[in-house]
Amino acid sequence: MDDFILILKSKKDCIKYKALIERFLWEHLKLELNLKSKYYPHKMGVNFCGYRIFTTHKLLRLSSKKKIKKKVKKWNIKFSEGTINYEKTIQSLNSWLGHSSHCNSYKLQQKILKKCNFLYQDSTYEIIEKNLIQDIASEPFLE
C-alpha cells in the first residue's frame, strides 16, 4: 500500500510533517511523493479507499453510488431479457453491499436493493438454490 493520509490540527502542522516525510522518503528509500499530495481542510472530508471520511462519520464515494445504480439498471434489463447471470450478479451486489456496509449507508443500501427487480422473483432463489445444491453435491468430500 502506498497511499496514506495525515489528519492534523493545522495547515502549519501539515507542512511540517509533509517536509519530514519527504526528507525521510528521499534519504532512506530514494522515493518522492507524487505531485497530487495536497492539504485540505478537514471539513471537506478525506476521499480515501472508496469512502469520504469525516471526523464524525464515513460516506460512500459518489462514484460508487453512480456505478451501482448503473449496474442495477443493466442487471434489470438483463433480467427482463432472461440473460442475467445470477451467480455473478449476486456476487457483485454482495461485494458492493460489503463495501458500503463500512460506512453510513443503510438507507442507500435499502434503496438499491428495492430497485433490484431480479431479487424479488421466486425463480431467482430457485435457480440460485439449485446451483448451490449442484455445487455442494459435486464436492469430493461428499463422495
Look at residue 2 in the predicted model and tell me its pLDDT.
Answer: 72
What is the pTM assigned to this prediction?
Answer: 0.65
- Give the tens place of pLDDT for each residue, 5-48: 787 878 898 889 999 999 999 999 999 888 877 777 777 888 88
The residues, any chain, with a CB within 8 Å of residue 20's CB and separated by 6 or more, are: none
User: Which pLDDT score, from 0 to 100, does residue 19 have?
Assistant: 92
71-115 pLDDT, tens digit per residue, is 999 999 999 999 999 889 999 999 999 999 999 999 999 999 989
Strands (E), the chain: 46-48, 51-53, 58-60
pLDDT of 101: 93
Q: What does the alpha-carbon distance between residue 18 and residue 6 come to, in Å, rounded to a whole number?
A: 9
Kindly report, residue by residue over 49-62, the tens digit of the pLDDT. Answer: 889 988 888 999 99
**What pLDDT is attached to residue 63?**
92
pLDDT at position 27 is 95
Contact of 82 with 50, CB cutoff 8 Å: no
